[in-house]
Structure 1
Amino acid sequence: MRQSWRVERGSSLPDVTVVVVNYRGADDTTTCLRALFGELDYPADKLQVVVVDNASGDGGAARVRAAAPAAEVVEAPANLGFAGGCNLGVEHARGSVVAFLNNDARPHRAWLREAVRVLRAEPAVGAVASKVLDWEGRDVDFVDGGLTWFGMGYKRHAGEPDDGTHDTPRDVLFGTGSALVVRTSVFRELGGFDERFFMFYEDVDLGWRMNLRGWRVRYEPKSLTFHRHHASMSRIDSSRELYLLERNALAALYKNFSDETLAKALPAALALVVRRATARGELDATQLEITRRPADPEDDRAPVPVPRQALAGFLAIDQFVELLPSLAESRKAEQAARRLTDADLLPLMRKAMEPAYPLPRYLAAHDVLVEVFGLEEVFGRPRRVLVITGDALSDRMAGPAIRAWNMADVLAGEHEVRLVTTNARCDPPEAPFPVARAVRHELVEHAEWADVVVLQGHVLENLGFLKEPGSTKIVVCDVYDPMHLELLEQGKDTTDEQRELDLVGVTRVIDNQMRRGDFFLCASERQRHFWLGHLTAIGRLTPSLYDNDPTTRSLLAEVPFGLSGKPPQRTGPGLRASLDLADSDKVVLWAGGVYSWFDPLTLVTAVDRLRARRADVRLVFLGMKHPNPEVPDMDIGVRTRALAARLELTGSHVFFNETWVPYQDRQNWLLDADAGVTTHFEHVETTFAFRTRVLDYLWAGLPIVTTDGDSFADLVRREGLGVVVRSEDPDALADALERVLYDEAFAAACTERIAVVRERFTWDNVLAPLVEFCRNPRPAADRLPGASPMVRNRPLGKLDKVQRDVQLVREYLTAGGPREVARRASGRVLKKLRRG
C-alpha cells in the first residue's frame, strides 16, 4: 500500500519556468511556444513561460503576444544577446526549476518531465543537459560536450546519425543552452550566464563553473528536443561568429582554470589563436620578414589584405585584453568558490588534447606548443589521492594500518596515491606508492597536494583547515572503527572522570567527521544502521538525499575489511616450527591481538576442559604486543596469561607469541593452523564491531569458531563456515572446538564453503565503492553552494488538498484504525475553531 503512494502526481512536481529568447525570429518563436503549450507533458498550472524579446524592432514582441497569450513577454531595452536575454528571463522566473529553450527548437512532449525527474532523483545534479537532434530527428546536435585545453567547447558527435549509441545518461561538463534545465537556486548562486559572452560558450562557461563548484551536469537522453541549428545566425557573416568563439574561449579559460593550469595554458592558447587566424586566412606569415621587402619603398608600405576569417582571431585577443579587468574579478570569485580541481574535471573534458581544426600549419603549431609548455603533463595528470592513518606502518601492522595500506594499493592502480601516517613508527615494507610519516604541518602540505583525502580515526583533528566552513577539499571518512564504543571497554581500568573526558573527546572527533565528510565508509550492514542514525541526528540525511537514494549508499557505503585475492603461499617457518609443535597437534589460532573487548578467558577455560578428552589440542595467540607503540598493554592480556598459568596450560596447550607476526609472514602461521577462533563478551562494542583478523581465517580456509553477537557470527552461521556459540559458555565452546578440529567431514565442508565466500572479501571487491567514488569525486549534495529544495511557489489547490487528505486518512487508518481517523479529524476541527 505504501509504495503506491509514491506514484508521481502532478502536485508533487515543482514549478518550472521556461525561458525563450527571441530576436527577429517571431515565426520560429511561435512554433516553439505552440509546442510548449500544446504538446508538452507537464501540468499547465506548474508551467511559466517567459519570452524575452531582445529589442527585435520588427514587431515580433506583439506577434508573440498575439500568438501565445499564456506566455509572459518581457521586452529587453536593447539586444542583450542570448546570455543577457536568458538572465533577464530568470529575473521574472517563479519556478524552482528554470529551463532554457532556443526559439528555433521544439521540445519532445517528455522533455521537461524527464529532466525534472533527474533533478528530483539526484540532489547533486545542478543541471540536466537535454539530448538535441536536428529538426527532422535524424542527426545529432548535442549528446555530449568536450573541452580543449585552449578553452574551446564543442559538441561531440554533432552531425552524426542518431543510431542509438547515445542513449545512456552520463555526467557532462556542460549542456547546450538550446535545451538546458537548471535548478533556479543554483543558476542564481552562480550569477547566471556570463553576459560578457553575449552568445556562444556561455553554456560551456556555466557548466564548467557548475562542475567546479561540485554540482553535476547530467546528460539525459529522454529529455529530448529538436533544433534548427543557428537559424538566428544564418544572415550574419561567419567571421563574427568566429570572433565570439575565439574571444569567449579565452575568457572561459581565464576564469575557470586553476593558477597552475592557467600559467601554462593561457600563453599557449594566445599563441594558438594567432596561428589559427593565419592558417584560417591562409596568410603568409613570413611576408613582413626584413629579407623579403620589395625594392620599391612605396610597395613596401602598401596595405596588406587580411581576410575577415583571420581578422576575427586578432580582434578576439584585443577584446579579451579589454575584458581582462572585469574577468580578473570574476576569476577571483570562481577560484574562491571552486570545490573540484582541474584534474577532477579532466574526464569530463573528454579529449582535452584534441587540436580541433584540421589545418596543417595550425596542427604543427599545436604540437609545438603542447610540447614546449608541457601541456601533456597538465592535462594528463592523474587524480591525486591521499590516504592517512594514525596507525603504525611497518612489517607488523594492525587493522587500521592494513586497511589504509590496501586502500592505497588498490587506488594506486588508477590514481597518484600517497599513504601517510601520523604515527611515530613508519618503517614500511616496499610499496608501489609513496609512504611517509608526517607531523602536523607536513600533513597539511600533503592534504593541500591531494584532490581527495581518505582519513581514519583522529586524523581530521590534525587538519583543522578541512573543518572550516569554506573548505572545498573532497574528504572520505573511513569510520569502520566505532572508536567511542571501543573506548567504553578499553577505558574500564581508568577512573570514571577520565573515562567521561575521553568519551566526550572521542565523540567530538566522530561528530566532526560526520559533519564534514563527503563520503563515508563503514564495515558492515550493522555499522551502516549505526552510522545512519548518527548522520540523521546531525541533519545529514536530507529529504533530497533520501528521495535520490533511500539506501543512502551514495553517502554511506559498506566497505568491509578485505583480504588478498591471491591464496596464501608459504614463504617461511610458521607457528609449528616457531613454537615447537608437532605436525599431529590440532591447532586453533587466535589471529589478532588480545584487547579488553575480547573474551580469551572463556576460551582458555574451554581448552582446559577439552584437553581432558583431546590431549593434542593446542591454542596459539598470534600476537600479544600491539604493533602500534601508542596502544598500551591491556589488563585482559595479563589476566589471560595468569589463567593459563594457573591451569598449567602455558607452554603445553596454550602458547603466547609475545611480539607480533610480521604482516607479510602471517600466512605461514595461518597455514599451520587447523581452525580459527574469536571470542568476545556480549556488549554494544561487539554488536557493531568488525573483527578484521577473522578474515585471515577465510583467506587461509580455516573453519571458524566464534562467539555470537557480531556481524561475523551472522556470516559464519548463514554460510556454514564453522560453529557459533553463546558468549561466556566454556562447555559449548569446548564442544565447538572439538567439532572443527576433529570432525574431518564437517571441517572439510566448512573449508569448501569458505572458498566460495572469501572471493566476496578480496580487497578489489570490497573497495569497489571507494574506487567508484574516486573516479568521480564530488562534495556531498548537502554541502554544495546554492542547494535548495524544489518547491511549489503557490498555495495548494483544491485537488492538491484532497489528495493530501486522502493520504493522511490512509496513514491514520494504518496507524490506529477508524478511531485514530476520528481523533485526528476532531483535532483539526478544534484548531479551525480556535483560529476563527
Structure 2
Amino acid sequence: MERAILPEVSVVVVNYRGAEDTITCLRALRDDLAYPADKLQVVVVDNASGDGGADRIRAAFPDVTVVDSPTNQGFAGGCNLGVEHATGAVLAFLNNDARPHRDWLTEAVRVLRREPGVGAVASKVLDWEGRTIDFVDGGLTWFGMGYKRHAGQPDDGSHDVPRDVLFGTGSALVVRTSVFKSLNGFDERFFMFYEDVDLGWRMNLRGWRVRYEPASLTYHRHHASMSTVDISRELYLLERNALAALYKNLSDETLAKVLPAALALVVRRATARGDIDPRQLEITRRPADPADDAAPVPVPRQALAGFLAIDQFVELMPSLAESRKKEQAARRRTDADLVPLMRKAMEPAYPLPRYLAAHEILVDLFGLDEVFGRPRRVLVLTGDAISEKMAGPAIRAWNMADVLSGEHEVRLVTVNPLCTPPDAPFPVLRVRTGDVGEQVAWADVVVLQGHAMEYVPSLKDAANTKIVVCDMYDPMHLELLEQGKDDTDEQREKDLLGVTKVLNNQLRRGDFFLCASERQRHFWLGHLAALGRLTPSLYDNDPTVRSLLAIAPFGLSGKPPQRTGPGLRATLGLAESDKVVLWAGGVYSWFDPLTLVAAIDTLRARRPDVRLVFLGMKHPNPEVPDMDIAGRTRALAKRLELTGTHVFFNETWVPYQDRQNWLLDADCGVTTHYEHVETTFAFRTRVLDYLWSGLPIVTTDGDSFADLVRREGLGVVVGSEDPDALADALEKALYDKEFADACAERIAAVRERFTWEVALAPLVEFCRDPRPATDRLPGSATLVRNRPLALGEKLQRDVKLVKEYLDAGGAGEVARRATGRVLKKLRRG
C-alpha cells in the first residue's frame, strides 16, 4: 500500500497493574511494527492501577498518549475512554500482554481498504511463542456464551485462510472508527469478557462484516490480567454477560424461546459445577432433628457465581432494555442470517453429565433446534475426477467446497469413477449417477457444474423448491465446436444439440449463476434473455442482474507458492541457467501449441538456452480422451528436432498440490490459441497459476486474459498464428530482466483480486442467504397491469411525443407522424 494514502491508526492499550507487560507491548509497537510511525497514534489507558505504572509508561514513552482513568472501568470502559482520545480513522485494540507481528496493522488496514463492507478485522492470535492458537475463529452458543474455536491447538497452517466471523477477540481487533462510534463502542456494563462478542454480534446485525485475516498476526500471554483473580469471579462475569448479550441482540421471537431456557441452564450449570445435591430441600428428606434443618447449607463459590449472575442480570435489565430497543431498531440482518457465523450454536460447551441432561431437555422442550438448528447444508456436485491430480472443473469444485465449509456443512460429490481425494476439511464422496438424488435430498443448496443436473431429472422440474446454483464458467457448447472437429458433421450436430440442451436446462432452472469473466457474463445474459429469465420484476429490483448472474473467476491460493519438492528442472534434467517457458495446463483442441513450438524453433537460433515445458499431456480425468492436437504437437517438435533438447513433454499430469514446484522453476508462462468464438468467451484457468507464481505472461490475443495482460502490463500479447511475433515476445519476457521484474511487481498487485476467497465471494454471499430466483417464487406475477389512459395522461403523452418528433426532424417530422396516426384511426374505424 502506498504510504501517502494509508489512514491514521489509533492503537488503544488498557493497563491495569501490568506496567511491565504494557512497556513490552509498547516497545514492540514502536520498534517492530511496519506501519508508518507518522500515521500511528498510541493511546494507553491506565485503569486506576495505583501502583505508579502510569508514570513509568510516560517516562519510557513520552510520545504515547497516557490517559488516567479515575476508576477501574474494566477492559470495555478503558477501551472506550481511550477512543475518546483517539484521532485515527481506524482503531486498533491490543491487549497490554500482547505483541504485534510487524505486519499486524498493515494487513488489517489492507482488508479495510479493499473491502468497504468490512467493519472490523479480527486478527490471528497465537501464544507468546507462536506455537499454539489463541484466536482464529469465534463461536457462539444458543445460550450466549462466546468461545474461541481451536484455542490451544497447534498452529499447523490450516487456519491461514481469511473468513467472515461473528466476532474477533478484543485482544487484537482493528475497527473502523466511524463504525465503532456508531455502535457506541464496547458495552461498559460487561466490564470484561464477551464485550468483544457483543460488539461483533451487533456489528453483524447492522450489516457490517467482521473479517478474520490471518496475516494480521499478534502474540498473546493469555489472561495475564486475570492470573490473580479467583475463577468464581470470572465465571460470574461470563454467566452474567452471556445473558446480557442474548437479551440485547436476539429478536423478539427468538428471545421468547431462548431466554427462559438460558436462565434455567445457568442454574443447572451452577448446581452441576458445584456438585450441589439438587434434592436436598425435598420435603421428604427432612432431618430427624428440626434444628438441623435450619443449619446453613454450604454453596461453593463456583456455583454461587451462576446464581449471582442471574440476580445481577435482573438488576441490569432496565438499562439493557433501552439498549435492546436501539439494537433491534438498527438491525439489518436476521438471527437466522447469523447462525452460520455462530458455527455450532447447539454446542453444550460443558461436559458435566447432569448439565448435559438438562441441556438436552431444554433444547427439546423449547424447540431450540428450530431456532438455531443445524448448519446449512451445501452440496457441491461435479462430474470431474477428484484426486491428487485434478483438472480445472475439479479444482474449482474443490475450492468452492473449501470456501463454503467455513460457514456451512458441505459435501463435495463426484460421479466420476476416479475419486481418491487428498485430505479435506469436508466430506468428499463418489456416488453412482443413480444415487445423486439422495445427496440432493440431503442438501439445502446445490452447487453444480457440467452435466450434473442431468443426473437428477427431478431437479429440472420448475416446481422443485431446492435452491440451485449453476456454475457456468465453462461454455461447453462453444468448447465442443472445437473439440469435435474430427467427428462427422452428423455426430457434431447431435453432440452440440445435446450439450446446448444440458445448458438450457440449467439456465431455465437455476436460482443463481456464476460465470468467469465480464465477457462470459454478456454471453450468458443473452442466453438468459432468450429463455425469458430476465423478467421486468427482476430487472426493476436489480438493473445490473448481478443477483441472478455474478462473476466468479477461477481463483488461486492466497498464500504465495512455496517449494515442497523437486520441480521441472530436477525432473526433466534442465540446467539452472536454462530459460524456461512453461505451458501450465493440458493440450486441447482449442489451443494452438503448434505456433508455440514453431516460435521456440525460431528463438533457439539466437537463444540456444531457451526451453519449453508442457506441464501435462495426459488429462487426469480418465473419461476425457486424448485429442489430436497433442499428437500433432509431439510430431512437430520431433520433426523440428526439438524434443528432449528444447521442448519437453511431461506425459502424465503434475499433482495439483505439487504444481508450485514446477511453476517456481519457470521464467515465464505461455498460453496460445486460435482466433475463434471459443477463445472469445474462454477463461484459461491455468493462466492464474502464472499470476500466483509471479511469472510474466505471454499470450495470444482474443480472450479475457489477453485483455487483463494488456491492461495491467503483466506480459506481452501477440496476434494468433504468428510464430515470429511470438518468438520476439518470449525473448522479451525471458531475457529482458527489467521488463520481467516490472511485470512481476504488477502481477503481485493483480493476483490479490484472484484469490479463491475474493473470486468466490458472490457464491459465499449467496449461500449466506440463499433464496429462489424472483421469477421462480410461487405466485410471481405482474402487480400493475395496463389500463386506459385518462384524458390528462393522453395530453401529457402527446406533448412529449411532439417534443421528441421536433427534436428528431422538425415540423415536417411532426406532420408526417400526425398523418400516420390519422390514417391508423381511419383504418380501424
Find the partner of 1:672 among 665, 668, 692: 665
What corresponds to 1:771 in structure 2? 764
Cα RMSD for the two superposed structures: 3.7
Q: Does 1:736 align with 2:751?
A: no
Task: Tell me by how many angstroms 1:801 deviates.
Answer: 2.6
Q: Deviations over 1:604-632 (max 9, x none)?
A: 00000000000000000000000000100
Q: Does 1:370 align with 2:362?
A: yes
What corresponds to 1:280 in structure 2? none
What corresponds to 1:711 in structure 2? 704
Find the partner of 2:555 among 530, 546, 562: 562
Distance, in Å, in 2 between the alignment partners of 1:810 and 1:655 is 71
Structure 1 pair 821–631 and aligned structure 2 pair: CA distance change class (3 A):
farther
Unaligned runs of 5+ in 1: 1-147, 150-163, 169-217, 221-255, 258-263, 273-285, 293-341, 355-362
Task: Tell me by how many angstroms 1:799 deviates.
Answer: 3.3
Greater alpha carbon shift after TM alignment, 467-476 vs 698-707 = 467-476
Structure 1 pair 807–416 and aligned structure 2 pair: CA distance change class (3 A):
farther
Structure 1 pair 617–460 and aligned structure 2 pair: CA distance change class (3 A):
same
Q: Does 1:468 align with 2:461?
A: yes
What corresponds to 2:676 in structure 1? 683
Distance, in Å, in 2 between the alignment partners of 1:348 and 1:732 is 53
Find the residue that maps to 2:623 and give its secondary structure: coil
Q: Map 1:751-790 onto structure 2 (within 5 A).
A: 751-790=744-783
Corresponding pairs, count = 510
Q: Does 1:518 align with 2:515?
A: no
TM-score by length of 2: 0.57
Q: Does 1:426 align with 2:419?
A: yes
What letter corresponds to residue 630 of structure 1 in structure 2? E
Structure 1 pair 420–742 and aligned structure 2 pair: CA distance change class (3 A):
same
Q: Deviations over 1:255-307 (max 9, x none)?
A: x99xxxxxx99xx9xx99xxxxxxxxxxxxx9xx9999xxxxxxxxxxxxxxx
Distance, in Å, in 2 between the alignment partners of 1:815 and 1:401 is 56
Q: Does 1:382 align with 2:375?
A: yes
**Contact 1:676–1:697 (Cα < 8 Å) also in 2:** yes
What corresponds to 1:829 in structure 2? 822
Distance, in Å, in 1 between the alignment partners of 2:559 and 2:341 is 37
Q: Deviations over 1:542-589 (max 9, x none)?
A: 112112222110100000000000000000000000000000000000
Task: Tell me by how many angstroms 1:165 deviates.
Answer: 12
Structure 1 pair 767–816 and aligned structure 2 pair: CA distance change class (3 A):
farther
Find the residue that maps to 1:716 and give its secondary structure: helix
What letter corresponds to residue 676 of structure 1 in structure 2? G
Distance, in Å, in 2 between the alignment partners of 1:352 and 1:809 is 66
Structure 1 pair 551–393 and aligned structure 2 pair: CA distance change class (3 A):
same
What letter corresponds to residue 433 of structure 1 in structure 2? F
Q: Map 1:689-700 onto structure 2 (within 5 A).
A: 689-700=682-693
Find the residue that maps to 1:772 and give its secondary structure: helix
Q: Deviations over 1:31-83 (max 9, x none)?
A: xxxxxxxxxxxxxxxxxxxxxxxxxxxxxxxxxxxxxxxxxxxxxxxxxxxxx
Structure 1 pair 577–811 and aligned structure 2 pair: CA distance change class (3 A):
farther
Find the residue that maps to 1:388 and give its secondary structure: strand
Find the partner of 2:621 among 620, 625, 628: 628
What corresponds to 1:588 in structure 2? 581
Structure 1 pair 219–596 and aligned structure 2 pair: CA distance change class (3 A):
same
Distance, in Å, in 2 between the alignment partners of 1:822 and 1:482 is 51
Task: Tell me by how many angstroms 1:805 deviates.
Answer: 3.9
**Contact 2:582–2:615 (Cα < 8 Å) also in 1:** yes
Find the partner of 2:640 among 642, 647, 664: 647
Find the residue that maps to 1:418 and give its secondary structure: strand
Structure 1 pair 791–611 and aligned structure 2 pair: CA distance change class (3 A):
same
**Contact 2:378–2:447 (Cα < 8 Å) also in 1:** yes
Find the residue that maps to 2:601 and give its secondary structure: helix
What corresponds to 2:630 in structure 1? 637
Structure 1 pair 475–807 and aligned structure 2 pair: CA distance change class (3 A):
farther
What letter corresponds to residue 760 of structure 1 in structure 2? R
Aligned-residue identity in percent:
75
Find the partner of 1:407 among 395, 400, 408: 400
**Contact 2:340–2:768 (Cα < 8 Å) also in 1:** no
Structure 1 pair 396–344 and aligned structure 2 pair: CA distance change class (3 A):
farther
Distance, in Å, in 2 between the alignment partners of 1:669 and 1:618 is 13
What letter corresponds to residue 780 of structure 1 in structure 2? A
Distance, in Å, in 2 between the alignment partners of 1:775 and 1:757 is 27
What corresponds to 2:530 in structure 1? 537
**Contact 1:563–1:699 (Cα < 8 Å) also in 2:** yes
Distance, in Å, in 1 between the alignment partners of 2:552 and 2:341 is 30
Find the residue that maps to 1:705 and give its secondary structure: strand
Distance, in Å, in 2 between the alignment partners of 1:447 and 1:778 is 17
Task: Tell me by how many angstroms 1:794 deviates.
Answer: 4.5
Task: Tell me by how many angstroms 1:816 deviates.
Answer: 7.1
**Contact 2:340–2:407 (Cα < 8 Å) also in 1:** no
Structure 1 pair 779–809 and aligned structure 2 pair: CA distance change class (3 A):
farther
Task: Tell me by how many angstroms 1:744 deviates.
Answer: 0.3
**Contact 1:382–1:416 (Cα < 8 Å) also in 2:** yes
**Contact 1:344–1:777 (Cα < 8 Å) also in 2:** no
Distance, in Å, in 2 between the alignment partners of 1:809 and 1:779 is 44
Find the partner of 1:727 among 720, 726, 751: 720
Distance, in Å, in 2 between the alignment partners of 1:693 and 1:450 is 31
Distance, in Å, in 1 between the alignment partners of 2:639 and 2:810 is 65
Q: Map 1:240-389 onto structure 2 (within 5 A).
A: 369-371=361-363, 379-389=372-382
Structure 1 pair 615–517 and aligned structure 2 pair: CA distance change class (3 A):
same
What letter corresponds to residue 781 of structure 1 in structure 2? T
What corresponds to 1:444 in structure 2? 437
Task: Tell me by how many angstroms 1:536 deviates.
Answer: 0.3
Distance, in Å, in 2 between the alignment partners of 1:528 and 1:399 is 19
Structure 1 pair 755–794 and aligned structure 2 pair: CA distance change class (3 A):
same
Q: Deviations over 1:452-501 (max 9, x none)?
A: 00000000000111111210000000000000000000000111000000
Find the residue that maps to 2:725 and give its secondary structure: helix
What letter corresponds to residue 594 of structure 1 in structure 2? V
Structure 1 pair 344–633 and aligned structure 2 pair: CA distance change class (3 A):
farther
**Contact 2:340–2:376 (Cα < 8 Å) also in 1:** no
Structure 1 pair 710–820 and aligned structure 2 pair: CA distance change class (3 A):
farther
Find the residue that maps to 2:559 and give its secondary structure: coil
Distance, in Å, in 2 between the alignment partners of 1:352 and 1:666 is 35
**Contact 2:583–2:671 (Cα < 8 Å) also in 1:** yes
Greater alpha carbon shift after TM alignment, 708-717 vs 804-813 = 804-813
Distance, in Å, in 2 between the alignment partners of 1:474 and 1:442 is 19
**Contact 1:344–1:451 (Cα < 8 Å) also in 2:** no
**Contact 1:343–1:381 (Cα < 8 Å) also in 2:** no
Structure 1 pair 469–653 and aligned structure 2 pair: CA distance change class (3 A):
same
Find the residue that maps to 2:556 and give its secondary structure: coil
Distance, in Å, in 1 between the alignment partners of 2:339 and 2:544 is 28
Distance, in Å, in 1 between the alignment partners of 2:810 and 2:726 is 50
Structure 1 pair 460–807 and aligned structure 2 pair: CA distance change class (3 A):
farther
Q: Map 1:167-206 onto structure 2 (within 5 A).
A: none
Distance, in Å, in 2 between the alignment partners of 1:551 and 1:425 is 40
Distance, in Å, in 1 between the alignment partners of 2:420 and 2:809 is 64
Task: Tell me by how many angstroms 1:383 deviates.
Answer: 0.6
**Contact 2:344–2:375 (Cα < 8 Å) also in 1:** no
What corresponds to 2:501 in structure 1? 508
**Contact 1:567–1:699 (Cα < 8 Å) also in 2:** yes
Structure 1 pair 649–348 and aligned structure 2 pair: CA distance change class (3 A):
closer
**Contact 1:410–1:764 (Cα < 8 Å) also in 2:** yes
Q: Deviations over 1:99-127 (max 9, x none)?
A: xxxxxxxxxxxxxxxxxxxxxxxxxxxxx
